[in-house]
C-alpha cells in the first residue's frame, strides 16, 4: 500500500496504453440497435461463435416482443434507438481528476454514509483512485480464491477461458425470450460477473462486485451468472450503499443462479442508483430479471435486497424450486421517496417434493412515491408436501404516498400449505411525539422507526452491509418529515 | 420553574383549557385532580408540545424562557419529561436503542460526551432494577407486548434515566394493581429533589397516599377551581367531585 500517487499515475497510463490502443477510434458505438451492432459488439469482445448466435436469437425474439405494461409504474416510453450499446471504459483524462471536480451534493452523501475518502473517490469515478483500489484489492483477494478453485471473473473473460461452463448454464435459468428486458439484455449485454464454486467448496470470501476489477463501467446491461456446484456455498454481495455516479438511464440486468445438490447461495443486494431529484426529474429505470434455479436436491437460495435507489424499480428475484427439499428465501426492503416508483417482489415456483419458501417483504413509502409488492407462489402438481410463508408489510410516511400489494397464489397440489400475512401501518403522530418528547430529532425518529420496521430483513444481511443499510435508509429518508 | 398564565387550548377546534393558571417552584410536587374531560391530559400534552393541540391564548414560561416557542424535542432537552398515559409501541426498535438515542440526544444538547453502548447498558440495567423490571426487557421492542404495568414502569424508568427538571406524570397510576403502584410510587419518590419539580395528573386519590404532594389542584372545565394541600385530596375522596359542584359522570358510573 506504499504506492505513491506518481507510481499510480504511471500505472494508469500503462494500463490504458496497452488495453485500448487499437480501439480508440471505435470505443463508443453510435446510438441505435440492429444485427450489425450486435455482431460488432460480439466481435469486439472476441466472443466464441455460439455466443453471437445466442445474442442474435435473443435480438430476433426481442423484436417480436412488446414492452410490458402490467407493472404498477408509469414512465415515458424508452427510446431504444437513442441508446449506445457499447462504450469502452472512460480514459483517465475524461474522468474527474480529483474530488474537487465532483458534485458536492454527492460528496456530502458519502460523508454521511461514513465512506472512507479513497472509496468516495472511486465511487465518484475519480481516475487515480479507481485504479489504485483495484490494484491493491486484486492482490489481496485473488490468491485465496484461486487456491480454493473458485472462478470469479468478468463474464467476458469467462467466455474466453471457460466457454463450456458459460455455454451450459447461460440462459438455463432465464431463457433468452423470458421477458422483454431479459431478451434485450441477452442480445446486448456488455459485461458482468461470472462465478463458479467447485464441488464441496465453501467460498473462503464473501464475493462482491464492489471489489472486482472492471466492476465500473460494466454498463447498463449487466449479466451475472453464478453456479454453485454440489455441496458448495457462496455469499455474494452486489452493489454498494453509496449512490453511484451513472449517466445511463435504463438499466436492464439479468442475474442467473444455478444450484446443484446440497448447494447454497446467499445473494445480497443493496441498490442505491440515482433516484431522481425531489421533483421527480431524472433517475435510473431499473428493470432487472433475477432468478435462481435450485436444480439439485436439498439446495438453498436466499435473496436479500435493500432497494432505495432508482426512479423506477421493476424487479422480482425468484426461485425455481425443482430439486426435492430445496429452499427458497426472499427478504426485501424497498424504500421509495419523492416521486420514486417500485414494483417489486418475488416468484416462488415449487416443483420438487417438500420444497419450502419464505417471503418477508417490507415496503416503505414516503413523499409522493408509489410502492408495490407483487408476488407469485405456485405449487406444481408434483410439489408434494411443499409449503410457503409470506409476510408482506407496508409502512407509510405522510399521506401523499401509496402502498399496494398484489399477491398471486396458484396451488395444484392439495398437500401444499401456504400462509400469507399482510399489514399496512403508518409512522404515527403518537410514535413521533413519543420520540420527540424524549429529545430525539424528528428525522432521526423516522429513521429509527423505519429501521425497526425493517429489522427482520436487516438481520439477514452480512454484518457490515446491515450497518450500512441502516445508514442508507437514514440518508434516503432525508426531507421526509414536515 | 414553571409559570402558566391564562392558558387557553383547543384540539380539533374544541376548547379544552379555559384560562388555566399555575405556578410550580423548584422542588415542589403538585397534583392535579379532576374528572374525566376536565382537561388534565390536555394540560400535560400542551406542556410537552404535542402539535395536535393549539394554544389560543395565554403564556407559559419555563425557567424564564417562553416554553410555547420551543419545539417538542427542544422542550424535552430543556428538561420537560412526560410520562405517557398510553405509551405507544414502536415495533422492532429495542428499548435499549431507543433509550440510548434519547439519553444521547440530551447529552449532546448539553455538550456532554455521548455514551457508548456498553456504558449505557450498565446504566440501563441498574435503573431498570429500580422499577423492578427484568433487564431482559431492554432487548424487547419499545412497549411492544408490554403489559399495562410494564408500560407504566417503563415510563418511570425513563424519567429516572433522563433526570428531567420537570416530570409530568399523566395518570401513571391508572391500571396498576397495588404492588405495581407501590413500585411506581417508589420510583417517583426517588425522583424528588430540590432542583426538580413533579406534576402528577390523577383521577384518584390513592396514588397520593404513596406520593404525598405539596399542593393539590382541582381542575374542572379547563380551569383550576380549587387549590390546597394534601388534605384537599382526602376531602375530595370522601365527598366526591359533587362536593365542588362538578358533575363526574364517568366516576359516578364506575363507583
What are the tens digits of pLDDT across the range B164-184? Answer: 999 999 999 888 888 889 999
Mean pLDDT of the B232-255 span: 71
Per DSSP, the residues of B4-61 read: EEEEEEEETTEEEEEEEEEEE-TT-EEEEE--TTSSHHHHHHHHHT-TTEEEEEEEEE
A437 and B162 within 8 Å at the Cβ level: the answer is no
From A165's Cα to the closest Cα of chain B, the distance in A is 44
B105 and A452 within 8 Å at the Cβ level: the answer is no
Other CB atoms within 10 Å distance of the CB of residue A444: 17
As a whole number of angstroms, the distance between CA A398 and CA A319 comes to: 34
For the complex shown, is ipTM > 0.85? yes
CB B136 within 8 A of CB B94: no
B88 and A451 within 8 Å at the Cβ level: the answer is no
| Residues of B whose CB is below 8 A from A394 | none
Cell matching residue A46: 472476441
Per-residue pLDDT of chain A (482 residues; tens, 9 = 90+): 334 455 544 544 433 333 232 333 346 777 888 999 999 989 988 999 999 999 999 999 999 999 888 888 888 888 888 877 776 655 556 666 666 766 676 667 667 666 666 566 666 655 443 333 334 444 456 778 889 999 988 888 899 999 999 999 999 999 999 999 999 999 999 888 899 999 999 999 888 765 433 334 445 788 999 999 999 999 998 876 555 555 567 888 999 999 999 999 999 998 888 788 778 777 888 899 999 999 999 999 999 999 988 888 999 999 999 999 999 999 999 999 989 999 999 999 999 999 999 999 999 999 999 999 999 999 999 999 999 999 999 999 988 999 999 999 999 999 999 999 999 998 999 999 999 999 999 989 999 999 999 998 988 888 777 877 888 888 788 777 65
Give the contacts of A358 (CB within 8 A, at least 6 positions apart): A328, A329, A330, A388, A389, A390
Q: Which domains does chain B have, with CATH numbers?
A: 2-87+164-254 (3.40.50.300)
For residue B67, what is the DSSP state? G
Other CB atoms within 10 Å distance of the CB of residue A51: 18
Give the tens place of pLDDT for each residue, A321-369.
999 999 999 999 999 998 999 999 999 999 999 999 999 999 999 999 9
3-state DSSP call for residue A244?
coil
Nearest CA in chain B to A444: B101
Give the tens place of pLDDT for each residue, B119-138.
999 999 999 999 989 888 89
pTM (2 d.p.): 0.82
| Residues of B whose CB is below 8 A from A448 | 90, 93, 97-98, 101
Residue B80's DSSP bridge partners are B166
Cell numbers 454521511 label which residue?
A112
Predicted local distance difference test score (pLDDT) of residue A126: 55
The pairs formed by B172-179 with CB atoms below 8 angstroms and a separation of 24 or more are: B172/B83, B172/B85, B172/B200, B172/B202, B172/B207, B173/B202, B173/B204, B173/B206, B173/B207, B174/B85, B174/B202, B174/B203, B175/B148, B175/B149, B176/B148, B176/B149, B176/B152, B177/B149
| Residues of A whose CB is below 8 A from B109 | 439
**CA–CA distance from A133 to each of A69, A103, A125, A129, B173 (Å)?**
42, 21, 12, 6, 62
CB A436 within 8 A of CB A475: no
Amino acid at each position: 500500500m506504499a504506492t505513491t500517487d506518481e507510481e499510480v499515475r504511471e500505472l494508469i497510463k500503462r494500463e490504458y496504453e496497452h488495453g485500448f490502443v487499437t480501439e480508440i477510434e471505435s470505443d463508443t458505438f453510435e446510438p441505435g440497435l440492429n444485427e450489425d451492432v450486435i455482431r460488432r459488439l460480439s466481435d469486439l469482445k472476441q466472443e466464441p461463435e455460439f455466443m453471437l448466435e445466442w445474442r442474435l436469437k435473443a435480438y430476433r425474439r426481442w423484436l417480436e416482443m412488446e414492452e410490458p405494461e402490467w407493472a404498477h409504474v408509469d414512465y415515458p416510453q424508452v427510446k431504444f434507438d437513442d441508446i449506445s450499446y457499447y462504450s469502452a471504459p472512460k480514459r483517465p483524462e475524461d474522468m474527474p481528476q480529483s474530488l474537487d471536480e465532483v458534485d458536492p451534493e454527492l460528496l456530502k452523501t458519502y460523508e454521511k454514509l461514513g465512506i472512507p475518502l479513497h472509496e468516495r473517490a472511486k465511487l465518484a469515478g475519480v481516475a487515480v483512485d479507481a485504479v489504485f483500489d483495484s490494484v491493491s484489492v486484486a492482490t489481496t483477494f485473488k490468491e485465496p480464491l484461486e487456491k480454493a478453485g473458485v472462478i470469479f471473473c468478468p463474464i467476458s473473460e469467462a467466455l474466453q477461458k471457460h466457454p463450456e461452463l458459460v455455454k451450459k448454464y447461460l440462459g438455463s435459468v432465464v431463457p433468452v425470450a423470458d421477458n422483454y428486458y431479459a431478451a434485450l439484455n441477452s442480445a446486448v449485454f456488455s459485461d458482468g460477473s461470472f462465478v463458479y464454486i467447485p464441488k464441496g467448496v465453501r467460498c473462503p470470501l464473501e464475493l462482491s462486485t464492489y471489489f472486482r476489477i472492471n466492476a465500473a463501467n460494466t454498463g447498463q446491461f449487466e449479466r451475472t451468472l453464478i453456479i454453485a456446484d454440489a455441496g458448495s456455498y457462496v455469499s455474494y454481495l452486489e452493489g454498494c450503499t453509496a449512490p453511484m455516479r451513472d449517466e445511463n438511464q435504463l438499466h436492464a440486468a439479468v442475474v442467473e443462479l444455478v444450484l446443484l445438490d446440497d448447494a447454497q447461495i446467499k445473494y445480497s443486494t443493496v441498490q442505491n442508483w440515482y433516484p431522481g431529484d425531489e421533483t421527480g426529474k431524472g433517475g435510473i429505470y431499473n428493470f432487472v430479471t433475477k432468478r435462481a434455479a435450485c436444480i439439485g436436491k436439498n439446495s438453498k437460495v436466499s435473496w436479500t435486497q435493500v432497494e432505495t435507489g432508482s426512479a423506477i424499480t421493476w424487479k422480482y428475484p425468484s426461485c425455481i424450486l425443482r430439486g426435492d427439499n430445496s429452499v427458497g428465501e426472499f427478504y426485501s426492503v424497498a424504500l421509495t421517496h419523492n416521486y420514486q416508483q417500485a414494483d417489486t417482489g418475488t416468484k416462488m415456483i415449487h416443483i420438487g417434493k417438500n420444497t419450502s419458501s419464505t417471503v418477508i417483504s417490507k415496503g416503505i413509502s414516503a413523499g409522493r412515491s408509489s410502492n408495490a409488492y407483487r408476488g407469485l407462489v405456485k405449487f406444481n402438481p408434483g410439489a408434494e408436501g411443499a409449503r410457503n410463508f409470506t409476510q408482506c408489510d407496508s409502512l407509510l410516511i405522510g399521506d401523499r404516498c401509496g402502498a399496494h400489494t398484489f399477491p398471486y397464489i396458484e396451488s395444484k397440489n392439495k398437500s401444499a400449505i401456504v400462509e400469507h400475512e399482510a399489514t399496512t401501518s403508518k409512522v404515527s403522530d403518537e410514535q413521533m411525539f413519543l420520540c420527540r418528547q424524549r429529545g430525539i430529532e424528528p428525522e432521526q425518529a423516522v429513521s429509527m422507526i423505519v429501521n425497526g420496521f425493517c429489522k427482520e430483513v436487516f438481520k439477514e444481511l452480512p454484518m457490515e452491509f446491515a450497518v450500512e443499510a441502516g445508514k442508507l435508509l437514514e440518508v434516503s429518508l432525508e426531507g421526509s418529515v414536515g | 420553574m414553571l409559570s402558566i398564565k391564562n392558558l387557553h387550548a383547543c384540539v380539533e377546534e374544541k376548547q379544552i383549557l379555559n384560562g388555566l393558571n399555575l405556578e410550580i417552584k423548584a422542588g415542589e410536587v403538585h397534583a392535579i385532580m379532576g374528572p374525566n374531560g376536565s382537561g388534565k391530559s390536555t394540560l400535560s400534552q400542551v406542556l410537552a408540545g404535542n402539535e395536535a393541540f393549539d394554544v389560543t391564548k395565554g403564556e407559559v414560561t419555563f425557567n424564564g424562557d417562553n416554553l410555547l416557542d420551543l419545539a417538542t424535542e427542544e422542550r424535552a432537552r430543556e428538561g420537560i419529561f412526560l410520562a405517557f398515559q398510553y405509551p405507544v409501541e414502536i415495533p422492532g426498535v429495542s428499548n435499549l436503542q431507543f433509550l440510548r438515542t434519547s439519553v444521547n440526544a440530551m447529552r449532546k444538547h448539553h455538550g456532554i460526551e455521548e455514551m457508548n453502548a456498553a456504558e449505557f447498558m450498565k446504566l440501563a440495567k441498574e435503573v431498570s432494577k429500580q422499577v423492578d423490571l427484568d433487564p431482559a426487557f431492554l432487548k424487547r421492542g419499545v412497549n411492544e407486548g408490554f403489559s399495562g404495568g410494564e408500560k407504566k414502569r417503563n415510563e418511570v424508568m425513563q424519567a429516572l434515566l433522563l433526570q428531567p427538571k420537570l416530570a409530568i406524570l399523566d395518570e401513571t397510576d391508572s391500571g396498576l394493581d397495588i404492588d405495581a403502584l407501590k413500585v411506581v410510587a417508589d420510583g417517583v419518590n426517588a425522583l424528588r429533589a430540590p432542583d426538580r419539580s413533579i406534576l402528577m395528573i390523577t383521577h384518584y386519590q390513592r396514588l397520593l397516599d404513596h406520593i404525598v404532594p405539596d399542593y393539590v389542584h382541582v381542575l374542572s372545565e379547563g380551569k383550576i377551581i380549587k387549590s390546597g394541600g394534601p388534605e384537599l385530596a382526602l376531602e375530595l375522596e370522601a365527598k366526591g367531585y359533587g362536593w365542588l359542584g362538578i358533575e363526574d359522570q364517568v366516576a359516578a358510573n364506575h363507583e
